[in-house]
Amino acid sequence: MSGERKRHVIPGEVITSGSYRAEQNTIQVGDNIVSTIVGLSDIHDGSVRVIPLTGGYMPKDDDLVIGKIASHSSLSWTADINSCYVGMLPASDVFGRDYSSSSDDMTAKLAKGDLIAARIVNADMTRDPLITISGRELGKIDSGELVKISPNKVPRLIGKRGSMIQMIESSTNSQVTIGQNGLLVVSSEDPNGLLKAIQAIELIEEQAHVANLTDQVNEMLESKSE
């Protein structure tokens, strides 16, 4: 039953009834599948979900996020990851297993206010989510412009198979690191390209609900390049 039209729903609204699986942001009440959030309903392969239009970021395993170091203890840093939970970055992740709190200086590696690209390792909600900065494309961010958008609009910014973000990157000659938590770092050699990329991102943030957004963004990118 895929391809059914997406519908606007609000909490408590019945999306469908019958033998469907209730997934993201839905609950089953008797025979009905009910939305729990304001968003777009999506029925696909016998399962029902609602794509949220509002709300904050909830950490999920394997998400790439951009965080800001908030503080550190003798064993770990805490990072603000634009969520109701703070990210925990263990010192052993940076210094290796032979980390010793007496000989290694944590602030030398990451100080308060530093930006990091991190991946969420464990977000089981029983404790603050564990993050790591060891891996490709992860680690401290030294340059670039930080842009904040609503976490719900991140999928729109990326587009189908990354089409939207690739278009922005190639036509403005910039690199965009997208955190699933709605924080982005845009960097470019060319200051005009940087500005244009940020404008394009802001346009997507404002117009996320419009249907033919890709064309609109493309138009905007081309018009300014003349």
Residues that bind other proteins (CB under 8 A): 5-8, 10-14, 25, 27, 29, 34, 36-38, 40, 52-56, 58, 84-85, 125-126, 152, 209-211
C-beta of 40 vs 195, nearer to other proteins: 40
Distance in Å, CB of 144 to other proteins, minimum: 26
Residue with tokens 């990354």: 162
Alpha carbon of 92 to those of 75, 80, 136, 157, 208: distances in Å?
A: 8, 19, 18, 34, 40
C-beta of 138 vs 213, nearer to other proteins: 213
C-beta of 123 vs 168, nearer to other proteins: 123
Distance in Å, CB of 133 to other proteins, minimum: 23
C-beta of 40 vs 167, nearer to other proteins: 40
Distance in Å, CB of 99 to other proteins, minimum: 27
Distance in Å, CB of 33 to other proteins, minimum: 12
Distance in Å, CB of 38 to other proteins, minimum: 5
C-beta of 53 vs 64, nearer to other proteins: 53
- Spatial CA neighbour of 110 closest among 157, 164, 72: 72
Cα gap 100→103, rounded to integer Å: 6
3-state helix/strand/coil string of the chain: CCCCCCEEECCCCEEEECCCEECCCEEEECCEEEECCCEEEEEECCEEEEEECCCCECCCCCCEEEEEEEEECCCEEEEECCECCEEEEEHHHHHCCCCCCCCCCHHHHCCCCCEEEEEEEECCCCCCCEEECCCCCCEEECCCEEEECCHHHHHHHHCHHHHHHHHHHHHHCEEEEECCCCEEEEEECCHHHHHHHHHHHHHHHHCCCCCCHHHHHHHHHHHHHC
Distance in Å, CB of 187 to other proteins, minimum: 29
Distance in Å, CB of 86 to other proteins, minimum: 8
C-beta of 37 vs 138, nearer to other proteins: 37
C-beta of 126 vs 223, nearer to other proteins: 126
